[in-house]
A and B are shown apart, each in its own frame.
Chain A
Amino acid sequence: MKEIERPTRNNLEGIGGWLNPSRYGWERISYWFQRLTGVFLLVYFIGHVYETSTIVNGQNAWESFLELTQTLWGHLFLIMVIGASTFHSANGIRLIFTHAGIGLGTPGRPDYPYNPASLNYRQKSGIWIALILAAAAMFYGFNVLFGV
């Protein structure tokens, strides 16, 4: 009889499991956004450090590089940076509280239909506030950069 193969990574969801966050509610969407904005901001910071380092090549090099941000795509990229940093910061503050067990409620005796105490509206509202703040910051950035 052939021995059953049990590879350790068999059937792992991997990063692909992050790509459909709507199955599990707002907390999972927030988890996905926090990662997405984190990676995006890392890319931005690397680019930002490279951009500011061009000053060592003289004022002309600095100004020519800075012109990249004055294009349509440069402005759109900066608006994305504004939104990502606002959401990441606001949601990060919410996560600091939840990771410390603050705002999650207390254990009790579960009754059907078993609504989990930790997924309450008190901490969930932090996600919505972070999204609203990010949208408002992007709107403000749009007005400043495009002068609407």
Chain B
Amino acid sequence: MNNTTIDNKNERRITLKVYRENRGQDSGSHHDTFEVPYKKWTTVLDALLYVKSYMDPSVAIRYSCRMASCGSCGMKINGVPKLACYTKISELETSTVECEPLPNFPIIRDLVTDFSRFFNHHKSMQPYIQTNDSTEADNSKGTFSFYQSPEDVDKYLQFSYCIKCGLCYSACPTVGTDLNFPGPQALAQQYRYFADTRDESKKRLDIVDDRHGIWRCHFAGSCSKVCPKGVDPALGIQLLRSYMLGISKNDKIPAKKIEINDDNNNNGKI
């Protein structure tokens, strides 16, 4: 491939091996190799954008925030699912960096994959607060908030940090052999809402109680290993299963509803 002249002779170079395939054209797959300059702080995404800018603009990648917040640039880097924007080349300590599309996601083109199935599993978990109190959704009767202690919040907070990057889904060995398995992301989100004291749904455990559901998780722990946000999906799944097995008792006390007055005269009192 093309080589770009680098003025600074001390600048280090890395061999970037990029998976290429266009499912729309049935042209087969191959790897393209690029020699890319890098510095201590250069990320894999920076290197790929360098390739797009100066060597081959046709390389397809998906990215947005460049700061591990949007979860768009997930890909398999040297065999392990990682966020390209969160992976520094200097920390990989290899002379070649191989970028491939996330496994277990259908390939659209090059490093871009289709997240439809992943998001469908997420939606099937009903990932929203469900309450039996109709006044909660009725603004004409005032605005309400729900009191939660810091301990109540700690039970689900880390699971709410999920950015839906798909790395856990990609690393899971069960997803790799069972397309009907919801995957670690969806199951951990089920626990996130199950543990939330504002949620009153009685059907959450029934949704995952299926032969392709939570029982298919065998605690390989790969999901938690690759998660870039510390969500620890494996923990959420096992905690949810402990409720299903009757080991843990659901002693959730529903969150207390507080009316918020327009003149804000409650002074934060409950």
Q: Which residues of A contact B (CB under 8 A)?
A: 2-18, 20, 23-25, 27-28, 30-31, 34, 95, 98-102, 104-105, 107-112, 114-119
Contact = CB atoms under 8 A, between A and B. Distances in A.
Given A9-B179, A20-B79, A118 B173 contact: no
Contacts of A108: 154, 158
Contacts of A102: 242, 247
B6 interface: no
Interface string B10-23: 00000000000001
Interface in B79-123: 79-80, 101-108, 113-114, 116-117
Contact of B218 (A16, A23, A25, A34): A34
A23 B80 contact: yes
Contacts of A27: 219-222, 225, 234
Contact of B176 (A17, A110, A114, A119): A17
B227 A114 contact: yes
A98 B228 CA distance: 23
A31 B218 contact: yes
A13 B80 CA distance: 12
Nearest to B170: A13
Interface in B163-196: 171, 173, 176-177, 179, 195
The 9 A-B residue pairs with the shortest CB-CB distance, nearest first, are: A110-B230, A114-B230, A27-B221, A101-B242, A13-B176, A31-B220, A116-B224, A118-B235, A24-B222
B24 A2 contact: yes
A99 B108 CA distance: 36
Contact of B157 (A95, A101, A107): A107
Contact of A6 (B23, B26, B227, B247): B23
A118 B24 contact: no
A98 B245 CA distance: 12
Contacts of A31: 173, 218-221
Nearest to B155: A107
B218 A12 contact: no
Contact of A109 (B24, B101, B154): B154
Secondary structure call for the A interface: loop
B248 interface: yes
Contacts, number: 158
Interface in B20-38: 23-26
B161 interface: yes
Contacts of A7: 106
Contacts of A116: 221, 224-225, 227, 230, 232, 234-235
17 contacts: A5-B23, A5-B24, A6-B106, A11-B101, A11-B106, A12-B103, A13-B103, A15-B177, A28-B220, A100-B241, A101-B239, A104-B239, A107-B154, A108-B158, A109-B157, A114-B230, A116-B230
B158 A11 contact: no
B231 A110 contact: yes
Contacts of B236: 107
Nearest to B22: A4
A115 B179 CA distance: 28
A11 B105 contact: yes
B161 A28 contact: no
A100 B234 CA distance: 12
Nearest to A17: B176
